[in-house]
């Protein structure tokens, strides 16, 4: 019987690959958007404009303090009541981008905070404006403490993306749920789901480790 | 060139600058000394607005430093600042450290900036280390690059905040030599330092500060030989006995 189910699973593999594709596309778009958003917010948290600092802090705290599931429900089910109708795919990418942005902003702000204030003072004394200071002096140095945990965060976000299955998107997790109704071997089906997530995430984990090693550029370390 | 008029600053309840009135004319070298916590670093940092003031006025070459309409870019292009901790950009070579501001603020071409930069590095005696990174340089070498960086915009004034305090004793002289050279060329300088030998040799006047106030100002001769104030005498007795 087990062999029958296994053969059935193998035959369903293309369906799983479609699921992988959805997971990858949604994750990719959200991570790119979330990274851009995260950098903007992370930099904005150090602004001199108090209103900006406070509103960003509230946003980040809210996004990090509530479950992603709740956030995606609000976007998909509650926004239409306010006149904003999004398709499942759009809602997923939108929510995941906002969610990712909040977590990434913490990593970015943390990285920036490791740079000694003397660097900013030296750049100010040279007459550089805030953008020039950020671009030429602060960010190149901040990328070192930012990149390894950033890639680690990508892995977490890809795994969190499994939540999009509840609004009907056919990602890997949803394919698993649908398949297990036909092939009632939970371990087999979700074992495959796990392996597929792992194969997406593992290269990123290796990349993160590689960054950590390579970014310790000896000639910069005072 | 630099004028403080009734300047006050508080850090919370601490009256860190108490009625500061001070004039430094073009070409003069003013040395500020005093016990730690006296406000001397704060004072010098107010000149290029690294620190804001609460009341009073600071004029640099006629420009009101603390007016919110003042262009900080233009102001800071006329003032070079050398820090106790050097604060070189670790991810850039010595030459790049020197050329960054001219290229980005004055929009000088890379070629021109590097030519001028090399001349400055030569002036501070470090031209063969132009392509080295700060981490590969000794403290004295780093500070000399920092001085070259401060001179990169051809400022009218150079400010030094305890430039040798973080250096090993053997390297102090190489930095002081560069500063002496600058002084002899007529640069307007304000130096916060404990190096009394340097002060005696090079300064036009010495300013002694304690607890946020200027206690005494005098020419080197007057200051060291005839201090007028008891607190000055006390400070000198502690600092000159080793």
Cβ–Cβ of B104/A132 closer than 8 Å? yes
Half-sphere exposure of B30 (CA within 13 A, CB side): 22
- Determine contact: A136 vs chain B, CB below 8 A: yes
Q: Running DSSP on this structure, what letter comes out for residue B162? A: S
Tokens of B197: 């030998």
Cβ–Cβ of A122/B87 closer than 8 Å? yes
Residue A220 lies in a domain: no
pLDDT band at residue B235 using 50, 70 and 90 as cut-offs: confident
From B100, B135, B153, residue closest to A221, measured CB to CB: B135
Q: Is residue A13 pLDDT above 70, yes or no?
A: yes
- Taken in order B141, B144, B150, B154, the sign of the CA dihedral is negative
Cβ–Cβ of B105/A218 closer than 8 Å? no
Cβ–Cβ of B89/A137 closer than 8 Å? yes
ipTM of the complex: 0.91
Q: Is residue A1 pLDDT above 80, yes or no?
A: no
How far is residue B43's CA from residue B4's CA, in Å, rounded to a whole number? 10
In chain B, what percentage of residues exceed pLDDT 90? 75
B114 contacts: CB under 8 Å, gap ≥ 6: B95, B99
Longest alpha-carbon distance in chain A? 76
Distance from CA of A57 to the nearest CA of B (A): 26
Residue A221 lies in a domain: no
Distance from CA of A212 to the nearest CA of B (A): 17
Q: Is residue B192 pLDDT above 80, yes or no?
A: yes
- Among A6-15, A87-96, A156-165, A211-220, which stretch is predicted with the lowest mean pLDDT? A211-220
> Strand order in B205-210's β-sheet?
B79-82, B157-161, B188-192, B29-33, B205-210, B213-218
Angle between helices A13-44 and A186-214 (to 10 degrees): 40
User: Mean pLDDT, to the nearest integer, of B132-155?
Assistant: 95
How far is residue B84's CA from residue B143's CA, in Å, rounded to a whole number? 8
Longest alpha-carbon distance in chain B? 55
Chain A residues touching residue B149 (CB < 8 angstroms): 122, 126
Residue A123 lies in a domain: yes
Give the structural domain span for A208: 2-215
Q: Is residue B242 pLDDT above 70, yes or no?
A: no
Residue A168 lies in a domain: yes
Distance from CA of A216 to the nearest CA of B (A): 12
Cβ–Cβ of B89/A218 closer than 8 Å? no
Ranges of H-type helices in B32-86 = 40-47, 72-77
What integer pLDDT is reported at residue A183 of this predicted model?
85
Residues of chain B numbered 99-118 and touching chain A (CB < 8 Å): 100-101, 104-105
Angle A40-A96-A79 (CA atoms, 0-180°, nearest 5)?
105
Tell me the sheet residues that pair with B14: B11
Q: Is residue A218 pLDDT above 70, yes or no?
A: no
Nearest CA in chain B to A122: B87
Residue A222 lies in a domain: no
**CATH code for the domain of A11:** 1.10.3720.10
**Angstrom distances, CA of residue A208 to CA of A28, A138, A143, B123:** 17, 21, 13, 44
From B79, B101, B133, residue closest to A128, measured CB to CB: B101
Stronger pLDDT, A218 or B103, i.e. the higher one: B103
Q: Is residue A221 pLDDT above 80, yes or no?
A: no
Q: Is residue B160 pLDDT above 70, yes or no?
A: yes
Within a 10 A sphere around the Cβ of B28, how many other Cβ atoms? 18
- Contact between A157 and A104 under an 8 Å Cβ cutoff? The reply is no
SS3 B188: strand
Tell me the sheet residues that pair with A88: none
- Determine contact: B89 vs chain A, CB below 8 A: yes
What integer pLDDT is reported at residue B113 of this predicted model?
94
User: pLDDT tens, A55-86?
Assistant: 999 999 999 999 999 999 999 999 989 988 88
Cβ–Cβ of B73/A116 closer than 8 Å? no
Query: Which residue is listed with tokens 């953008």?
Result: A131
A28 contacts: CB under 8 Å, gap ≥ 6: none
Hey, which bits of B85-182 come out as E strands?
Answer: 157-161
Structural domains counted in chain A:
1
- Determine contact: B7 vs chain A, CB below 8 A: no
Residue A189 lies in a domain: yes
Distance from CA of A127 to the nearest CA of B (A): 5
Residue A27 lies in a domain: yes
User: pLDDT tens, A93-138?
Assistant: 999 999 999 999 999 999 999 999 999 999 999 999 999 999 999 9
- Among B101-110, B121-130, B175-184, B219-228, which stretch is predicted with the lowest mean pLDDT? B219-228
What integer pLDDT is reported at residue A98 of this predicted model?
96
Q: Is residue B112 pLDDT above 60, yes or no?
A: yes
- Among A23-27, A138-142, B33-37, which stretch is predicted with the lowest mean pLDDT? B33-37
User: pLDDT tens, B14-32?
Assistant: 999 999 999 999 999 999 9
- Determine contact: A220 vs chain B, CB below 8 A: yes
How far is residue B29's CA from residue B189's CA, in Å, rounded to a whole number? 5
User: Mean pLDDT, to the nearest integer, of B100-127?
Assistant: 93
Residue A171 lies in a domain: yes
Nearest CA in chain B to A116: B87
Within a 10 A sphere around the Cβ of B194, how many other Cβ atoms? 15
What integer pLDDT is reported at residue B174 of this predicted model?
92
């Amino acid at each position: 019987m087990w062999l029958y189910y296994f053969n059935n699973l193998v035959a369903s593999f293309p369906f799983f690959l479609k699921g992988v594709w959805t997971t990858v596309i949604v994750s990719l778009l959200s991570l790119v958007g979330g990274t851009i958003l995260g950098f903007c917010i992370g930099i904005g948290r150090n602004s001199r404009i108090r209103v900006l600092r406070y509103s960003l802090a509230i946003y980040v705290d809210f996004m990090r303090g509530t479950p992603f599931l709740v956030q995606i429900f609000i976007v998909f089910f509650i926004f239409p009541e306010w006149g904003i109708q999004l398709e499942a795919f759009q809602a997923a990418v939108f929510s995941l981008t906002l969610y990712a942005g909040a977590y990434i902003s913490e990593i970015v702000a943390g990285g920036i905070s490791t740079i000694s204030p003397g660097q900013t003072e030296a750049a100010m004394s040279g007459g550089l404006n805030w953008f020039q200071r950020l671009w030429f002096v602060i960010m190149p140095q901040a990328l070192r403490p930012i990149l390894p945990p950033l890639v680690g965060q990508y892995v977490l976000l890809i795994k969190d993306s499994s939540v999009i299955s509840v609004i009907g998107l056919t990602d890997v997790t949803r394919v698993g749920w649908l398949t297990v109704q036909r092939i009632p071997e939970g371990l087999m089906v979700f074992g495959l789901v796990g392996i597929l997530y792992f194969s997406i995430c593992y290269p990123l984990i290796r990349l993160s480790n590689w960054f950590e090693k390579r970014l310790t550029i000896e000639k910069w370390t005072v | 060139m630099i004028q403080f008029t009734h300047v006050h600053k508080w850090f919370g309840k601490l009256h860190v600058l108490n009625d500061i009135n001070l004039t430094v004319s073009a070409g003069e070298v003013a040395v500020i000394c005093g016990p730690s916590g006296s406000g001397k670093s704060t004072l010098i940092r107010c000149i290029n607005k690294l620190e804001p003031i609460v009341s009073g006025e600071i004029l640099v070459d006629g420009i009101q430093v603390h007016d919110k309409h003042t262009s900080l870019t233009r102001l800071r292009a006329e003032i070079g600042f050398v820090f106790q901790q050097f604060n070189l950009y670790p991810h850039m070579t010595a030459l790049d450290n020197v050329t960054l501001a001219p290229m980005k603020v004055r929009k000088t071409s890379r070629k021109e900036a590097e030519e001028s930069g090399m001349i400055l590095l030569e002036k501070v005696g470090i031209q063969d280390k132009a392509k080295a990174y700060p981490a590969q340089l000794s403290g004295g070498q780093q500070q000399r690059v920092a001085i070259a960086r401060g001179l990169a915009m051809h400022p009218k004034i150079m400010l030094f905040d305890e430039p040798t305090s973080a250096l090993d004793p053997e390297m102090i002289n190489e930095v002081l030599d560069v500063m002496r050279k600058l002084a002899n060329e007529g640069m307007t300088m304000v130096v916060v330092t404990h190096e009394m030998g340097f002060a005696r040799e090079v300064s036009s006047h010495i300013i002694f500060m304690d607890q946020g106030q200027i206690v005494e100002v005098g020419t080197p001769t007057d200051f060291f030989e005839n201090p007028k104030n008891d607190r000055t005498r006390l400070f000198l007795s502690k600092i000159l006995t080793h």
